């Protein structure tokens, strides 16, 4: 307070000095006082009031109309000061929220980390990029006791920190399942119970779960309302949609999921993705599924990881480097 009183006294002296001389030194002094007012959170209406008092003391005979005009300005600045204080509080709250989201995003990366497995005869490529700080997409790999590999791709209907917490619960639920039970229909049935019991009714999860058995060259899969994948036939060089049926996770406690299977030949690819890939936009136009497959085929001769990276960069450029939705793409290519 003593420092503030000194600044007020300096303000009066500087104002008198500037009115009489109007030099740069006075303006520099005013700039320093302004910084002191900001540091001490002096609201703008108090500065106007200080100015009025200083003028009255320096010039007692100041015209009445000028005094009225200054009082008018003071009333304006009172409303302005209240709005400005609310704005500053909002900025501080936003800064805190951004900081919390950044911490949550880092925690999400740590909690949901999954290792891409190294499987003889299978080339795997993965790219998963959030549209914002928090990722509403999720993918996970599980290794079975029979040398099979489980691949989960999911999308939370809902974003932000609640979605991240939901995904963390899903991951640890999957990790707790017996490795001898990697059947896609069983995985989804168990996860559905977990989601239905523990996740808010306004939040649902779509998931595609596949199990690849190298010994049989077959892939078994089930879906809980997820975006369909694609099977690329290397012999005919054609794509076939992997059609499935199944209710999204969390809607009903008792749901049975149908399991499908298909044989994978040498050079074939299985493409798993989220709707952030198939619903990319070019301007206001949603791209067609055929366009996605054309881009994938364009880079089909590259190693799987390089392929998915190229595909992502293509659609990132198409959207002017501003993703509208989380983008997740997984490619499995059988090499032998």
Check pLDDT > 60 for residue 66.
yes
The 3-state DSSP composition of the chain as helix, strand, coil percent (nearest 5) reads 50, 20, 30
Q: Tell which wins on pLDDT, 87 or 267.
A: 267
Q: Which residues lie closer than 8 Å to 265 by C-beta, 6 or more apart? A: 217, 233, 234, 235, 334
Per-residue confidence at 1, pLDDT binned at 50, 70, 90?
very low
- Rounded to whole angstroms, the Cα distance separating 50 from 73 reads 12
With tokens 């079975």, the residue in question is: 144
What was the pLDDT predicted at 6? Answer: 59
Whether the Cβ atoms of residue 216 and residue 261 lie closer than 8 Å to each other: no
Per-residue model confidence (pLDDT) at position 301: 93
SS3 label, residue 183: coil
Confidence class for position 229, pLDDT limits 50, 70, 90: very high
SS3 category, 318: helix
Q: Are 221 and 182 in contact (CB under 8 A)?
A: no
Residue 44: CA count within 13 A, CB half-sphere? 13
Give residue 181's pLDDT band: very low, low, confident or very high (50, 70, 90): low
255 within 8 A of 195, measured Cβ to Cβ: no
Give the model's pLDDT for residue 175. Answer: 78
State the DSSP code for 284.
T
Q: CA 245 to CA 60: how far, in whole Å?
A: 86
Q: How confident is the model at residue 261 (pLDDT cuts 50, 70, 90)?
A: very high
Selected residue with higher pLDDT from 163 and 19: 19
pLDDT in tens, 314-326: 999 988 878 888 8
- CA nearest to 195, candidates 241, 149, 255: 255
CA 8 – CA 97 distance, rounded (Å): 36
Mean per-residue pLDDT, 168-174: 80
């Amino acid at each position: 307070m003593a420092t503030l009183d000194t600044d007020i006294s300096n303000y009066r002296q500087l104002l008198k000095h500037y009115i009489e001389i109007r030099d740069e030194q006075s303006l520099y002094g005013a700039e320093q006082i302004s910084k002191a007012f900001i540091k001490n959170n002096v609201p703008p209406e108090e500065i106007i009031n200080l100015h009025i008092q200083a003028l009255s003391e320096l010039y007692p005979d100041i015209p009445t109309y000028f005094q009225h005009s200054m009082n008018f300005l003071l009333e304006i600045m009172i409303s302005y000061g209240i709005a400005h204080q609310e704005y500053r509080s909002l900025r501080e709250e936003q800064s805190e929220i951004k900081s919390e989201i950044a911490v949550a995003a880092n925690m999400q990366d740590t909690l949901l980390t999954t290792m891409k497995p190294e499987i003889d005869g299978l080339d795997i490529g993965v790219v998963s990029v959030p549209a914002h700080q928090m990722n509403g997409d999720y993918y996970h790999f599980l290794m079975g006791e029979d040398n099979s590999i489980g691949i989960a791709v999911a999308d939370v209907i809902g974003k932000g920190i609640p979605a991240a917490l939901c995904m963390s619960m899903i991951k640890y639920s999957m990790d707790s399942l017996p490795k001898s039970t990697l059947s896609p229909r069983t995985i989804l049935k168990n996860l559905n119970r977990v989601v239905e019991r523990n996740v808010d009714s306004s939040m649902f999860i779509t998931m595609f779960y596949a199990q690849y058995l190298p010994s049989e060259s077959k892939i078994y899969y089930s879906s809980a309302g997820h975006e369909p994948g694609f099977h690329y036939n290397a012999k005919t060089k054609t794509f076939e949609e992997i059609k499935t049926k199944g209710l999204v996770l969390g809607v009903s406690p008792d749901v049975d999921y149908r399991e499908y299977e298909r044989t994978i030949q040498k050079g074939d690819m299985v493409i798993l993705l989220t709707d952030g890939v198939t619903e990319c936009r070019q301007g206001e136009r949603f791209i067609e599924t055929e366009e996605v497959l054309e881009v994938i085929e364009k880079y089909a001769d590259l190693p799987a990881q390089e392929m998915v990276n190229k595909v992502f960069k293509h659609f990132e450029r198409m959207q002017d480097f501003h993703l509208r939705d989380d983008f997740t793409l997984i490619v499995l290519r059988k090499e032998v």
